[in-house]
């Protein structure tokens, strides 16, 4: 069997395993549809699950298992996210009558935890479809980091190197030398946080369905909500503890935006290590300074300050800052509203660029990368004052930062910006959105953020070419660009 054949067989054999796993996931909303009396929806999940199982078994039958090298692992990641989204999209298209592109858009947005939606009346969706919509965000939150590890931990370390890069860890540090045990630890932390949030939200008055759905999409920093008004719904609906609900969700969004390895250190009593972490300290500084500046700009804009309204202003501001920084995208106040004047909107856009921490479920460029780029800038200025032969190394958390990682960060940062500009131009060319709106739409897609500076109605009416562009942007942003680009490389399939 030639090298090309070995690559194809290895990639698609593993895709078969993933399709079977996805087929199993469909049983959750399928069973719920039966229990909730939504029997008219059951058939859509049966169809989706059956197709996923069928093609999964077919791939296992046709393609043989092989050794997973680094390039193969990249190809598996890229192709699987594209293909798994096809099956995940079926309940959306079949149950609502929307086009395949619209259903696929929603599925990719969910799996990549972007949170952009094309549904303008979410409350009209069946509860089983809403549950599936939330579940794919929860699976997507740790999906790339752990799902592939779970099915390949008996193979070599190529996958772990890939996931270390994808989850933005500088080295290959992990809670335990065993890849499989690492998977268990990460999912345990993720699951425990989700269960705790469900319980707390239920205590503060949410019904169990809403508590489950919002918890699934909070820890994943996805931002899908069963309501068009997002978290603002609970105030509008007259919930007595709506303020507490907002603070609880703010806290758990923050947890989702923090490196999960730091959560592990916290659970194992290494509290000092958590606060010594440079990225965590910068993350806290970004949130604190952004809240302060946005509040200041708000009060300067309205020309007055009121103690009576301060708690409400602070709550809306910190909720928005944490939601945007972690790229969750929940809302209590529309970022297009007058509450956020021009300076505040600019700060929000910067937060979209930065994103959350490495090793978290958040999107964006990541705090650590921005910190590295800033330190590089300072280092270059310092070098102007040093002799040409002087050795100047970049140090992060007491360790010399690898040169290869610096090159990778600068390359990905350029690729990230390049995709945004191309997508913005395509949006402006094929839609009636202005330059600012076009830019924010692709910015949101590539950063896996969710909010943008135009309405959901306008998003749903965008032409298919723009939606396809956003789909590519969401996948590229979630998978660090390289796996998606690599799919289109003949050399990768021939010479991996």
Query: What is the pLDDT at residue 487?
Result: 81
183 pLDDT above the threshold of 50: yes
Query: What is the pLDDT at residue 168?
Result: 42
481 pLDDT above the threshold of 60: yes
The model's pLDDT over 140-149, given as tens digits with 9 standing for 90+, comes to: 887 655 665 6
17 pLDDT above the threshold of 50: yes
Query: What is the pLDDT at residue 155?
Result: 46
- Contact in structure between 197 and 215 (CB atoms under 8 Å): yes
> Could you tell me which residues come within 8 angstroms of residue 85 by beta carbon, excluding any fewer than 6 positions away?
104, 107, 108, 111
- Can you tell me the distance from the alpha carbon of 290 to that of 318, in angstroms, rounded to the nearest whole number? 9
Q: Pick the most confident of 240-244, 348-352, 381-385, 445-449.
A: 240-244
Query: What is the pLDDT at residue 166?
Result: 45
Percent with pLDDT over 70 in the chain: 90
Which range among 156-165, 258-267, 286-295 shows the weakest confidence by mean pLDDT? Answer: 156-165
The model's pLDDT over 403-462, given as tens digits with 9 standing for 90+, comes to: 888 888 888 888 889 999 999 999 999 999 999 899 999 989 998 988 888 888 999 999
Rounded average pLDDT over 78-105: 94
The model's pLDDT over 313-350, given as tens digits with 9 standing for 90+, comes to: 999 999 999 999 999 999 999 888 899 999 999 999 89
């Amino acid at each position: 069997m030639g090298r090309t054949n070995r690559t194809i067989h290895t990639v698609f054999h593993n895709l078969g395993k993933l399709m079977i796993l996805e087929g199993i996931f469909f049983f959750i909303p399928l069973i719920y549809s039966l229990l909730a009396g939504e029997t008219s929806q059951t058939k859509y999940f049966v169809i989706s699950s059956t197709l996923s199982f069928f093609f999964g078994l077919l791939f296992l039958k046709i393609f043989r298992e092989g050794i997973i090298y680094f390039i193969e692992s990249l190809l598996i990641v890229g192709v699987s996210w594209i293909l798994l989204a096809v099956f995940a999209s079926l309940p959306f298209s079949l149950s609502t009558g929307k086009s395949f592109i619209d259903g696929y858009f929603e599925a990719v947005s969910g799996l990549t935890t972007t949170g952009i939606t094309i549904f303008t009346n979410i409350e009209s969706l069946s509860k089983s479809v809403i549950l599936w919509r939330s579940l794919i965000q929860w699976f997507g939150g740790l999906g790339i980091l752990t799902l592939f590890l779970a099915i390949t931990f008996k193979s070599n370390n190529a996958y772990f190197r890939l996931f270390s890069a994808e989850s933005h860890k500088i080295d290959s540090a992990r809670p335990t030398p065993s890849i499989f045990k690492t998977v268990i630890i990460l999912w345990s932390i993720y699951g425990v946080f989700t269960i705790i949030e469900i319980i707390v939200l239920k205590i503060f008055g949410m019904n169990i369905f809403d508590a489950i759905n919002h918890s699934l999409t909070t820890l994943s920093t996805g931002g899908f909500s069963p309501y068009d008004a997002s978290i603002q719904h609970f105030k509008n609906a007259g919930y007595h503890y709506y303020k507490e609900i907002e603070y609880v969700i703010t806290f758990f969004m923050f947890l989702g935006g923090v490196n999960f390895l730091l959560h592990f250190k916290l659970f194992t009593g290494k509290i000092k290590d958590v606060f010594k972490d440079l990225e965590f300290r910068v993350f806290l500084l970004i949130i604190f300074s952004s809240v302060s500046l946005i509040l200041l700009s708000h009060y300067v804009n309205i020309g007055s300050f009121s103690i009576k309204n301060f708690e409400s202003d602070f709550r809306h501001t910190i909720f928005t800052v944490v939601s945007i920084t972690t790229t969750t995208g929940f809302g209590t106040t529309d970022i297009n509203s007058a509450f956020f004047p021009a300076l505040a909107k600019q700060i929000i856009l910067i937060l979209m660029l930065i994103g959350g921490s490495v090793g978290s479920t958040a999107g964006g460029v990541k705090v650590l990368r921005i910190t590295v780029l800033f330190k590089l800038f300072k280092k270059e200025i310092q070098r102007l004052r040093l002799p040409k032969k002087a050795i100047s190394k970049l140090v992060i958390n007491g360790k010399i930062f690898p040169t290869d990682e610096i090159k990778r960060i600068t390359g990905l940062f350029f690729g990230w910006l390049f995709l945004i500009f191309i997508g913005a131009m395509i949006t402006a060319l094929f839609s009636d959105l202005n330059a600012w709106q076009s830019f924010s739409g692709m910015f949101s897609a590539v950063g896996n953020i969710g909010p943008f500076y135009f309405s959901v109605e306008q998003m749903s009416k965008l032409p298919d070419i723009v939606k396809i562009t956003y789909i590519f942007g969401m996948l590229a942003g979630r998978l660090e660009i390289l796996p998606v680009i690599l799919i289109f490389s003949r050399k990768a399939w021939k010479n991996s």
